[in-house]
Amino acid sequence: MTPSIDIVFAPDLYRFHEKHQNIVLIDILRFTSTMITALANGALSVEAYAEAEIPLKLKKEQQYVICGEYKGADIDGYDFNNSPVSMTRENVSGKKLAFCTTNGTYTRSVIYDYETILAGAFLNFSALCKRLSLDNKSVTLVCSGSSRRPAVEDILFAGAVASYLSEKSGFDYIDESVFMAVSLYNLAKNDVEAFVKKNAPGKRIITETNEKYAADFDYVFQTDLYDIVPEETSAFKFEIKK
């Protein structure tokens, strides 16, 4: 049977979609980009929680490094914001990380009925597409969005993955969400970052007024910096499988 593709534009829509064996968690700005960077720089694992109290408890009892934000702002007691550029080897190598974020970790909390959850971003685009092609299983691409609403950067990434899988690996799709995401990606693919800045004015304003967020913004639209695919190995815990 030909594997198929589905795309969920925002987490609260997940329950309305067909569940496939492979799930890809997407949060370009910024959780999956941050997770990929941390693991590429030697973090032992990344755990994703929807409640801010759980990482605080883990830090106290088990010496985790804890990272995250609420609506972009720092959380009291956390070591780092949800910033990929902060995930340097010096900061994370050899350490277990626990996250709570406004969008990405919340999205993980609503996912159910799956075999495998992988983390995707532009930073590991080719590695993810190759993994999905080799698995040859139907896939649901789940966009974290922004404050429960669709976000253009997540949809563009999902469209890029769907385009690759359909054109190069023979995957099929019938859901209109996939057609819309692929069509949007085809409009933006020559310069995805510029397209997002032009068509997401809220993000453009943030990048113009917040130097730290601007650095993250420039970073996350780089393609194929890392040849890794984070995979959930136990509940809410992502690692790089050896």
pLDDT over 80 at 242, yes or no: no
Helix (H) or strand (E) holding 116: strand 116-120
Task: Count CA atoms within 13 Å of residue 134 on its CB side.
Answer: 7
Sequence ranges of the domains in the chain: 5-239
Give the percent of the chain with pLDDT over 90. Answer: 89
Average pLDDT, rounded, for the chain: 96
Q: What is the pLDDT of residue 212?
A: 85
pLDDT over 80 at 167, yes or no? yes
Average pLDDT over residues 165-183: 97
User: Does residue 163 surpass a pLDDT of 80?
Assistant: yes
Question: Where does the pLDDT of residue 33 fall: very low under 50, low under 70, confident under 90, or very high at 90 and above?
Answer: very high
The answer to pTM > 0.95 is yes
Domain 5-239 belongs to what topology? Answer: putative 2-phosphosulfolactate phosphatase (3.90.1560)
93 has pLDDT over 90: yes
**Per-residue pLDDT band at 158 (split at 50, 70, 90):** very high
